[in-house]
Structure 1
């Protein structure tokens, strides 16, 4: 089912986009502005971007979507892997007829955005990575067990919240597996070469302090790895480090994300003019 506004000033399209064995809930504001596609946090929904989108305004074409089994409408799948998430970005853009876009990702979505930008330099206008895609070897056997215990402990409440779309329709084991896979993707030997290969303008917006499930200064030690990334690749820099923590950055410091989008596009224009 789709919904298309008849107003020329608000040509918003909402509907389902088929990919693999599932379908994703997509919103496209339409218009002739630069297309921006937003990649969500691992178990978050497209609604998290509302403040960023409102601040950027109608001069942009905003495309958001809920990943597999997230939100109220996106359908379950037999594949919740990171590679599936990358295919989903391509499927959404293809379904909406978008050839080139700026990709913006938060948390898990920042990893998706970084990989997509690295693999699609001719299609990516740039990338904004919001407190994610930081190379760091944080996964070991003890951390893996901690992750599995955390999601097992939360398994009693997540089914109660599923009708609201606030929690994914994944089992505790599936959620833990997704998080553990992310730990492997984050390893310096895995993520470092991906970031080094990015050739389009890319900007980080970093949070401060902790995030849900983290302890002590874990998050700050992970963020510190971004400095070496920027030193190695002239296309990448830190746009801002804000006061908000990881979980609140899109709500409290959305203007820093907006500034990073503008900065990235300005850098893209300079690069294109050379």
Structure 2
């Protein structure tokens, strides 16, 4: 367990002398979703994953904000003695990786983003849509928690995490456009929970201006699965993007 602010997070570190790879989870997920990707990459890397606050084996907190999640990256890397790292983030974790890399450019070898793009539901209408979604899901959340798909939070707290993340995602075009390290995207093509048919593919076009503006940002692969299944169904594509990033 690594102490951070008012809580502690559960960390797994394979150790070794290979390139350090830090895995950043989806908003309500735990670290076990990375098992297939880690297995595909194999022992040549130092794999570091952790459960964010109130997820998996980590402790609860009074602060589940995006900025708190960024501080947790600092805490994990400091505790494990890691100076330079590849960040691999899925969904919410992808958004975290962009901002942490932007604030710590000398410490990032590269970034691999799995199905996150610089788009968000913002403003009063966006917040209301997110709150309604989690209100409808309030009885489901405890049932999916053992599978690493929900946090030990109320439905309202889940919603506020989502609202916070959407605001940061929507503001991320300048962050990605000025990136000086390699940023590789692995994108799904299917819809996700709570999205309307075809909405996710339209959302993914928000990356186009960044691709046009910054040659450091590329799409490594676009795969057939959807947002929730991409780590399990298309782990080889994610692993390939990590290898490309390490080689670059």
- Conservation of the 8 A alpha-carbon contact between 2:184 and 2:218: yes
- Please give the per-residue CA displacement for 1:249-274, whole angstroms capped at 9, x wherever unaligned: 0001000001111111222xxxxxxx
- How far off its partner does 1:146 sit? 2.2
Map of 2:139 onto structure 1: 156
- Conservation of the 8 A alpha-carbon contact between 2:6 and 2:62: yes
CA distance 1:166–1:236, shift in 2 (3 Å): closer
Cα distance in 1 for partners of 2:129, 2:154 equals 16
Of residues 90, 110, 127, the one that matches 1:106 is: 90
- How far off its partner does 1:41 sit? 0.2
Q: Secondary structure at the match of 1:205?
A: strand
- Conservation of the 8 A alpha-carbon contact between 2:121 and 2:163: no
Map of 1:9 onto structure 2: none
Number of residue pairs aligned between Structure 1 and Structure 2 = 248
Q: Secondary structure at the match of 1:208?
A: coil
Cα distance in 1 for partners of 2:147, 2:218 equals 37
Map of 1:143 onto structure 2: 126
Cα distance in 2 for partners of 1:162, 1:131 equals 22
- Please give the per-residue CA displacement for 1:181-231, whole angstroms capped at 9, x wherever unaligned: 1221122xx211111221111100010120111112221111112121111
- How far off its partner does 1:157 sit? 3.0
- Please give the per-residue CA displacement for 1:73-130, whole angstroms capped at 9, x wherever unaligned: 2001111011111111110010011111100000000000111111111110100011
The reply to whether residue 124 of structure 1 matches residue 108 of structure 2 is yes
Q: Secondary structure at the match of 2:105?
A: coil
Map of 1:66 onto structure 2: 51
The reply to whether residue 224 of structure 1 matches residue 224 of structure 2 is no
Unpaired runs of 5+ residues, structure 2, are none
Of residues 79, 86, 103, the one that matches 2:63 is: 79
Map of 1:91 onto structure 2: 75
Cα distance in 1 for partners of 2:235, 2:155 equals 30
Q: Which moved more, 1:118-127 or 1:160-169?
A: 160-169
Runs of 4+ in structure 1 over 6 Å off: none
Q: Secondary structure at the match of 1:209?
A: coil
Q: CA RMSD in A?
A: 1.4
- Choose 1 or 2 for highest CA Rg: 1
Cα distance in 2 for partners of 1:230, 1:164 equals 35
Q: Secondary structure at the match of 1:180?
A: helix
The reply to whether residue 177 of structure 1 matches residue 144 of structure 2 is no
CA distance 1:192–1:166, shift in 2 (3 Å): closer
Cα distance in 2 for partners of 1:78, 1:27 equals 23
Q: Which has the higher contact order (CA 8 A, sep 6+)?
A: 2
Q: Secondary structure at the match of 1:238?
A: strand
CA distance 1:261–1:216, shift in 2 (3 Å): same
- Conservation of the 8 A alpha-carbon contact between 2:186 and 2:223: yes
Unpaired runs of 5+ residues, structure 1, are 1-15, 268-274
Cα distance in 2 for partners of 1:86, 1:161 equals 25
Map of 1:186 onto structure 2: 169
The reply to whether residue 34 of structure 1 matches residue 34 of structure 2 is no
Map of 1:249 onto structure 2: 230
